[in-house]
Amino acid sequence: MRKPKLEQTGEPYTELWCSGCQAFHLISSFANDHRANRARQHQASCKVYMAIYAKKYAKTAAGKDVFAKSSKKYAKTPNGIKMRKKHTWRYIDRLRSSVRQKLGGHCTRCGEKVNLEFDHVNDNGKFHRIKLSGRSRGSWAEVRWMRDAPLEEVLYGKYAIQLLCNECHRTKHQWAGPDGRPQQISLCLEQSTHGRKA
């Protein structure tokens, strides 16, 4: 199909010819062409056609190779690192919120709905994290396990999880000692026993 000619009215053009769609579109539908030594200021195809073409090209072998190389290069740039961190934290927030909703969305002790944290009922979180990811500290593999595992296993299994607010979680681990007494009193008794001379 040949490109039709616009009437020479002397006024600036409001439409451009899209070589992909083979039709006229408004100038706002075209992206600016910033490449050097280009006579035209806009790209030859409209944004809609370019998006469709990019999706089709991304599925081909050559497209996958090009996108993989460009994404690796971009990931090493300052903007790429910034965007990767931004998307990572967005994913983490969505993951944590979905698990909170799965577990009820409120503290199991006081019913608080803000500042919620995950707590192992049997205080075996360290062994659970080592089993899942090989690390004793906090790992997102544990949160992903809460999302993917059946609800009964998460709530009543060997590594049962409950939702506690910040205050209840801190109170549980600060004061509940292994013998049921406040932990600080237990530590004081141990120190006085070991320091006593026979």
Residue 109 · residue 176 · CB < 8 Å: no
**Alpha helices per DSSP H over the chain:** 47-58, 61-75, 78-102, 125-133, 140-148, 151-156, 166-175, 183-195
In the prediction, which pLDDT does 35 show? 61
Query: Could you tell me if residue 10 is inside a domain?
Result: no
Question: Domain check: are 118 and 183 in the same one?
Answer: yes
Contact 114, 165 (CB under 8 A): yes
Same domain, 94 and 187: yes
pLDDT of residue 121: 86
What is the number of domains present in the chain?
2
The pLDDT value given to residue 176: 57
Q: Are 147 and 98 in contact (CB under 8 A)?
A: yes
pLDDT for the residue 91: 83
Residues of the chain with pLDDT under 70: 1-12, 34-40, 138-139, 175-198
Residues 103 and 50 grouped into a single domain: no
Chosen domain end from 58, 77, 111? 58
For residue 2, being part of any structural domain is answered with no
Those residues with Cβ within 8 angstroms of residue 141's Cβ, 6 or more apart along the chain or in another chain = 129, 132, 133
Q: Residues 40, 107: one domain?
A: no
pLDDT, position 36:
47
Task: Give the pLDDT score at 186.
Answer: 43
| CA dihedral of residues 159, 160, 162, 166 (deg, nearest 10) | -30
pLDDT in tens, 144-173: 888 888 989 888 888 888 899 988 888 887
Assess whether 108 and 171 both reside in one domain. Answer: yes
Whole-number pLDDT of residue 11: 57
Same domain, 106 and 184: yes
Q: Which residue has the tokens 């616009």?
A: 6
Domain assignment of residue 74, yes or no: no
Longest dimension (CA), the chain: 110
Beta bridge partners, 117, equal 164
Do 54 and 96 share a structural domain? no
Domain extent, residue 21, equals: 15-58
pTM for the structure as a whole: 0.49
Q: What is the pLDDT of residue 193?
A: 45
Beta carbons of 20 and 49 less than 8 angstroms apart? yes
Could you tell me if residue 45 is inside a domain?
yes
In this structure, what are the phi and psi dihedrals at residue 197, rounded to the nearest 5 degrees? -85, 140
Asked if residue 135 is part of any domain, the answer here is yes
